[in-house]
Amino acid sequence: MQDIGKFEVLTESESHARTGRLHTAHGEVETPIFMPVGTKATVKAMLPEELIENGAQIILGNTYHLHLRPGDELIKEMGGLHKFMNWGKPILTDSGGFQVFSLSQLNNITEEGVTFKSHIDGTSYFISPEKSMEIQMNLGSDIIMAFDECLKYPATEDEIRKSSAMTYRWLNRCKEAMTRKESLLFGIVQGGLEYKTRMESLEQICSVDLPGFALGGFSVGEPIELMHKVVKEVGHEMPKHKPRYLMGVGTPLDLILCVDAGIDMFDCVMPTRVARNGTLYTWQGKISIKRAEYKKDPSPLDPECECYTCKNYSKAYLRHLFQMGEITGSRLNTIHNLHFYLKVMEKARAAINEGRWEEYRDDCIRRFS
Residues at the site binding a second copy, with contacts judged by CB under 8 A: 40-47, 69-70, 74, 77-79, 84-86, 295-296, 298, 312-314, 316-317, 319-321, 323-324, 326-332
Task: In angstroms, give the least distance from the CB of 124 to a second copy.
Answer: 21
Task: In angstroms, give the least distance from the CB of 49 to a second copy.
Answer: 9
Q: How is residue 277 annotated by DSSP?
A: T
CA distances from 238 to 130, 136, 358 (A): 25, 24, 21
Could you tell me where the DSSP H helices lie in the chain? Answer: 48-53, 63-68, 72-77, 81-85, 97-102, 129-139, 157-177, 195-205, 224-234, 252-260, 270-276, 308-312, 315-323, 327-353, 357-368
- Closer CB to a second copy, residue 10 or residue 52? 52
- Closer CB to a second copy, residue 52 or residue 327? 327
d(CA 292, CA 92): 40
22-28 long-range contacts (CB < 8 A, ≥24 apart) are 22/212, 22/243, 22/264, 24/58, 24/90, 24/142, 24/143, 24/184, 25/1, 25/90, 25/142, 25/182, 25/183, 26/82, 26/88, 26/89, 26/90, 26/91, 26/142, 27/57, 27/89, 27/90, 28/57
Task: In angstroms, give the least distance from the CB of 333 to a second copy.
Answer: 11
User: φ and ψ at 90, to 5 degrees?
Assistant: -60, 150
d(CA 186, CA 174): 10
- Closer CB to a second copy, residue 68 or residue 257? 68
Residue 267's nearest CA partner among 279, 277, 254 is 254
- Closer CB to a second copy, residue 101 or residue 294? 294
Residue 296, C-beta contacts closer than 8 angstroms, at least 6 positions apart: 316
Task: In angstroms, give the least distance from the CB of 290 to a second copy.
Answer: 13
Amino acid letter at 96? G
Task: In angstroms, give the least distance from the CB of 303 to a second copy.
Answer: 17
Say if residues 113 and 126 touch (Cβ distance below 8 Å): yes
- Closer CB to a second copy, residue 64 or residue 313? 313
CA 37 to chain centre: 7
Q: In sequence order, what are the beta bridge partners of 33?
A: 265
CA distances from 96 to 61, 72, 99, 174, 288 (A): 10, 12, 5, 13, 32
Instruction: Give the catalytic positions in this structure.
Output: 94, 267
Task: In angstroms, give the least distance from the CB of 135 to a second copy.
Answer: 16
Say if residues 210 and 185 touch (Cβ distance below 8 Å): yes
Task: In angstroms, give the least distance from the CB of 64 to a second copy.
Answer: 14
